Structure 1
Amino acid sequence: MQNLNYGVVGNCRSAALISEKGSIEWFCFPDFDSPSIFSKLLDVEKGGEFGFEVSEKYSITQKYVENTNILSTLFTSDEGSFEVIDFMPRYKLDDVNHYLPPEIYRYIKLLSGKPTFRVNYNPKMKYAAKEATHHIGKRFIKSQSIDDPLDCVYLYTSIQYALILGKKEIALENDQFILLSNNQKLINIDIERVSLEYNRTKIYWLNWVNRSKKFKTHNAIIARSMLVLKLMSFHPTGAVLAALTTSIPETIGEVRNWDYRFCWLRDASMSIETLMDMGHYGAARRFMTFIKGILKSKEDKFQIMYGIRGERILYEEELPHLSGYENSKPVRIGNAAYYQKQNDVYGYLMNVIYQYYKFFPGTLDEIEDIWEVVRNIIRAVIADWENPDNGIWEIRNSDKHFVFSKVMCWVTLDRGVKIAQLLNLKEYAKKWKKEADRIKKDILGNGWNEQMQSFTQTYHETDLDASLLLMEEYGFISGTDERYKKTVQAIKKELFYKGLMYRYINADDFGRLSSSFTICTFWLIRALYVTGDTDEALEIFNKIVGYSNHLGLYSEDLDFETKRQLGNFPQAYSHLALINTATLFTDERHLSQFIRP
């Protein structure tokens, strides 16, 4: 049984998943959405990896360099010990520009004795569809697709090339390094340069974390989750990825396995809002630039998701040559969900835009640019809110009147009203307030089931949905409102199972769900907290904190029985929810978090 015991290193351009034994088993190069060059994650036999092989005498442990996205894997035995420090360079060149090259360093530090190991360097190009051939130059090993010399990477190292390519035993007598780069380097790479890049990158992450809000309790898990969210932002455009992987299934052997290396407006908006709340505004500024960039004209309509450069068409295809994660097929790249209609996405986005106007509106031209985005969103919601959609869970082939979609349409209008008031545009505020009231009346009249004493997943039906727990968080209804309290209890009774939450239990187009969507349990914790069940909320929180992997990272889903991690990894949704929930139980809670805008 595989498990998602991976560390992640990256530089906001791409990222690598490194196993608990120090092997890179997923790495898309040079960007997050590029074809992989190591993909053992999705095919143990064919996928390719880049690791260190040691004898059974060695014990292997792993940890992050504290408050950084630099990973340390420690190999220890009686004959000696060494540490592999993995990082992708990221640091500021000046007040505006960052250095984030497409490359990964493996800094091998001798700690004691004379340890031995072999390097398993086995790149497989284009999602393992192409074998790599190796060409030795004076300064590097060039690895390229067997039939495409332009599809190549460069390996720089202080170790003899023949020892690496021949998988020969290496006796470590002093510090060594391996650098894998997408580009041919124009500067000399030696151990001093590696040390410099390491320290610059370390200082960057330490400074970034230092600018965050601090908490007396749970500060370490909050900081780790913030570092994960930051890592998943694509610096060149400001887009935020949902996850770093594709096709890790929600349940082993089933077909719910999608490509998450894209920017969902929902996930990205929630991630940005969380980072803003923790004191990081730079990511929000870049995200606003991304939003402006995807609207080329006032006639452009929003999609639920985009490529990380703003691409609108995300063709979905299958890769039959890969066996899949634990033989869970198909392996997919691209995502056909881009054409779906999900009216809830507007609410998250407008909520972030409201925070933008409230805290750092920028120059007059920026304010006007974003105002055009606001009006575009409002027009779309007014035109669509009365129509059915696919809902928050992207249920394919099922258009219904999802209650939470309607709630987020109300959020869109409500935040639009507040933005108009900030800009002293009273006529817009008045007109949009009237429409917001219409939406709220419609939800209260059609979404509440008097017999069940609960809001329901869709109008005039009886199924429940975990997303309804967010009605309070977005200000639609108070945590003291009896209708909300009863809804929380009804959802907990029906969807809470073995310490974790179902999204819903009614069958969808792929059948009945069989794993827990991690974020939903965090939603329940908050709902219990704000309705007064604080002890139970804390009890559930303390348990789910223990279900992370060995480095404190979370995927999309958890198995109800074993609590093993499933789904794409790491998942932005899960980490932003952990942050927001953990802050409920800190000593210095900011009361403003309960005063919704």
Structure 2
Amino acid sequence: MNSLELGAIGNCSIAALIDGAGTLVWGCFPRMDGDAVFSALLNDARTAHDPRAHDPREGTFSLELVDQLHSDQSYLANSAILRTTLYDHHGGVVEITDFAPRFALYERIYRPPMIVRRIRPVKGRPRLTVRVRPRFDNGGIRPEITRGSNHIRYVSPAQTLRLTTNAPISYLIEERPFLLDRPVDLLLGSDESLQAGIETTARDLFERTWDHWRSWVRSLSIPFEWQDAVIRAAITLKVCNFEETGAIVAALTTSVPEAPETERNWDYRFCWLRDAYFVIHALNRLGVTRTMEDYLRFINDIVEEATEGELRPVYGIARDTAIEEVVVPHLSGYRGFGPVRVGNQAYLQVQNDVYGSVVLASTHAFFDQRLGYPGGNTLFEQLERLGNRAVALFDKPDAGPWELRTIASVHTFSAVMCWAACDRLSKIANRLGMADRASYWRREADRIHTIICEQAWNPDVGSFVSTFGGRDMDATLLLLHEVDFLSADDPRFAATVDCVARTLKVGDYLYRYVAEDDFGKPKTAFVICVFWYIDALAALGRRQEARELFETVLRQRNALGLLSEDIDPRSGELWGNFPQTYSMVGLINCAVRLSRHWEEAF
């Protein structure tokens, strides 16, 4: 049965997920939102009587040790390189090193759509079976297989993958075990010949990739405490960055359900403007300015193309505006809990918080002096178009931050983010010496602030509430201080935090909301919400309580330090798309806020 005890590898072009036994169970080509040619993660029929029952090895790239006893797994320190060690019953030991090549070459970053698997016998006389079973069209098409002297080609009408190896080709095609008496390299990627020897190429790609990641980590400004957790979270966020355009995907997977038998199965391999803002903000706290610059170019192109400043909440990673949602019928789903969806209907929704998300992200361009391309008058004029939309829409119904599909309300979070757009535009205008525009946007921000406080504060509840004139709570209310809408010493903020906890907290975790939605009541907690709660506790001066809760949440990461979107608050089991950028962002923000300073540590 599948689980989320998985490791993620990637190079900001493609990514893959590998289980604890070294089997690649999820991987898309030729980019991270592409065809899921390795889709076994989402094809786990529950019973042999299920009409979709299948050979569980379909859609995998497995390295199976004959008479295997157990395995262990870890990342090479400060890298996105995963090492799995397999042990057999006879004392044999095999070491697998998996990575996607990434390093500087010819004044650019070399990041081909390629996965490299290096296999080394460590002890004994282990025998290994290599099974490479890609399935194209998201698992629906068996490829045609052709062979050469040192390669196998997997051919479909849409694309061809080539596996180049110094392992016996016949053994791979016939899936026959062989004695691993020397190192073996497997390079899977585009249908291109290598320009050097197989072992030489694999070794060179490994050494350069390892050097690259270690250098990248050395550039991070990390807190004194929880360094391993922060470094792993930062690397994971970077792996979720499609560097070619600057987009940042919400997660590397589609359709891992939020909870079993709920049909809350969504495709997260796209760029939500809201999520991406939080990712950029977290990485900026660690000094990752290049990723922020790349993302700013991505949203600048979106703003330039926006009709009258109108934005969609989510875009494809190449700025696709139509990412139609369809169901893949031949995949049974994670643990058999379908449907499997490709595309996301959210691109059609009205989510008014996006205007604030873009302005907040773009604000860095005007104030961060490290950036090579600072913001100027032209960008400001483009952002003002978004500000005009925020003014027009802050009190209009939308789908809200949780993307309700059939329920529209005036959501407090959306209104607050529209306020934030006006607030930051006023500050940007001051920075640019535009006093009249600064005054205009300050008046609009103050006006919107007053209306939100009148409409979203419920005196009977004694708290801000989820919607204008409503009574329900949702976890985004914990962000009122984070986006500077309320000061930490405002008694309304403390009251709201306490009300959110009373309403949404179950055990150590928080639900997004508990009101019934299009799919019933939520069954699992949303991981980012507990991090928002921890941040709020720290802002209120309840630091020890915040630290203890943070330590508790860290223990719920999988064995490799990764988090998904959701968690069962009772069992601690991870659910939802994986790895989830929102969750890793929350980890970084809490660690930075709660850590002792370096000067205090000695």
Q: How does the TM-score come out when normalised to structure 1?
A: 0.95
> Which runs of structure 2 are paired with 1:96-107 in the superposition (5 Å)?
97-107=108-118
Contact 2:556–2:572, Cα closer than 8 Å, also in 1: yes
Structure 1 position 343, deviation (Å): 1.4
The letter for the 2-side match of 1:15 is A
Which residue, 88, 92, 97 being the options, matches 1:80? 92
What secondary structure sits across from 2:497 in the alignment? helix
Provide closer, same or farther for how the CA distance between residues 244 and 590 of structure 1 changes in structure 2, counting only shifts above 3 A: farther
1:461 maps to 2:470: yes
For residues 460 and 192 of structure 1, the distance between their equivalents in structure 2, rounded to whole angstroms, comes to 67
Structure 1 position 269, deviation (Å): 1.1
Provide closer, same or farther for how the CA distance between residues 173 and 333 of structure 1 changes in structure 2, counting only shifts above 3 A: same
For residues 486 and 227 of structure 1, the distance between their equivalents in structure 2, rounded to whole angstroms, comes to 36
* Alignment coverage as a number of residue pairs: 587
Name 1:387's counterpart in structure 2. Answer: 396
Structure 1 position 452, deviation (Å): 1.3
The letter for the 1-side match of 2:200 is E
1:489 maps to 2:498: yes
Provide closer, same or farther for how the CA distance between residues 121 and 544 of structure 1 changes in structure 2, counting only shifts above 3 A: same
What secondary structure sits across from 1:131 in the alignment? coil
- Which is worse superposed, 20-29 or 580-589? 580-589
> Which runs of structure 2 are paired with 1:127-526 in the superposition (5 Å)?
127-145=138-156, 148=157, 151-294=159-302, 295-296=304-305, 299-360=308-369, 367-526=376-535
Structure 1 position 80, deviation (Å): 2.2
Name 1:12's counterpart in structure 2. Answer: 12
Contact 1:284–1:356, Cα closer than 8 Å, also in 2: no
Q: CA RMSD in A?
A: 1.7
Name 2:48's counterpart in structure 1. Answer: none
For residues 159 and 114 of structure 1, the distance between their equivalents in structure 2, rounded to whole angstroms, comes to 16
Structure 1 position 368, deviation (Å): 3.9
For residues 361 and 345 of structure 1, the distance between their equivalents in structure 2, rounded to whole angstroms, comes to 26
What secondary structure sits across from 2:305 in the alignment? coil
Contact 1:3–1:564, Cα closer than 8 Å, also in 2: no
Structure 1 position 361, deviation (Å): 8.0
Provide closer, same or farther for how the CA distance between residues 177 and 494 of structure 1 changes in structure 2, counting only shifts above 3 A: same
For structure 1, the residue ranges without an aligned partner over 5 or more in a row are 592-597
Contact 1:313–1:338, Cα closer than 8 Å, also in 2: yes
What secondary structure sits across from 1:299 in the alignment? helix
Contact 1:216–1:586, Cα closer than 8 Å, also in 2: yes
Name 1:595's counterpart in structure 2. Answer: none
For residues 86 and 173 of structure 2, the distance between their equivalents in structure 1, rounded to whole angstroms, comes to 22
1:67 maps to 2:75: no
For residues 13 and 322 of structure 1, the distance between their equivalents in structure 2, rounded to whole angstroms, comes to 25
The letter for the 2-side match of 1:86 is D
Name 2:101's counterpart in structure 1. Answer: 89
Provide closer, same or farther for how the CA distance between residues 103 and 201 of structure 1 changes in structure 2, counting only shifts above 3 A: same
1:554 maps to 2:566: no
What secondary structure sits across from 2:308 in the alignment? coil
For structure 2, the residue ranges without an aligned partner over 5 or more in a row are 45-53
Name 1:52's counterpart in structure 2. Answer: 63
Name 2:26's counterpart in structure 1. Answer: 26
The letter for the 2-side match of 1:137 is G
Contact 1:292–1:369, Cα closer than 8 Å, also in 2: no
Provide closer, same or farther for how the CA distance between residues 482 and 362 of structure 1 changes in structure 2, counting only shifts above 3 A: closer
For residues 444 and 140 of structure 2, the distance between their equivalents in structure 1, rounded to whole angstroms, comes to 53
For residues 392 and 270 of structure 2, the distance between their equivalents in structure 1, rounded to whole angstroms, comes to 27
The letter for the 2-side match of 1:39 is S
The letter for the 1-side match of 2:13 is R
Structure 1 position 264, deviation (Å): 0.3
Give per-residue Cα distances to partners, 1:407-433, cap 9 Å, x unaligned: 111111111111111111111111111
Structure 1 position 151, deviation (Å): 2.5
Provide closer, same or farther for how the CA distance between residues 221 and 462 of structure 1 changes in structure 2, counting only shifts above 3 A: same
For residues 369 and 496 of structure 1, the distance between their equivalents in structure 2, rounded to whole angstroms, comes to 45
